[in-house]
């Protein structure tokens, strides 16, 4: 994880976006963490990030886990394909 001052990031955002594709960049203001820059090397990475942070998707996953624990799920092995 790299740290960079806000003034540096503002001066050369493209450079920091390229770096953020490889590792998160903590942006500091007056020496204190103020934000984080996360880059995506592909559209798939962007899609995965969006899913991981979408409250609707996370609730569906949690609901499915509750269903499985309570015995209301279907095992993937039991699904027939044609």
Q: Give the pLDDT of residue 82.
A: 62
Please state, in angstroms and rounded to a whole number, the distance separating the CA atoms of residues 19 and 31: 20
Helix or strand (DSSP H, E) at 23: none
Please list the residues that pair with 2 across neighbouring strands: 25
Which is it for strands 2-5 and 25-29: parallel, antiparallel or unpaired? parallel
For the chain, what is the mean pLDDT?
A: 92
Please state, in angstroms and rounded to a whole number, the distance separating the CA atoms of residues 29 and 9: 11
Please state, in angstroms and rounded to a whole number, the distance separating the CA atoms of residues 38 and 47: 13
Residue 13 reports pLDDT greater than 70 = yes
Three-class DSSP category at 46:
helix
Average pLDDT over residues 17-37: 96
């Amino acid at each position: 994880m790299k740290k960079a001052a806000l003034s540096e990031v503002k001066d050369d955002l493209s450079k920091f976006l390229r770096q953020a594709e490889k590792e998160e960049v903590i942006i500091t203001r007056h020496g204190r963490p103020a934000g984080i820059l996360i880059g995506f090397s592909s559209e798939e990475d962007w899609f995965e990030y969006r899913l991981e942070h979408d409250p609707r998707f996370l609730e569906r996953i949690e609901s499915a886990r509750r269903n499985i624990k309570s015995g209301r799920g279907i095992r993937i092995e039991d699904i027939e394909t044609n």
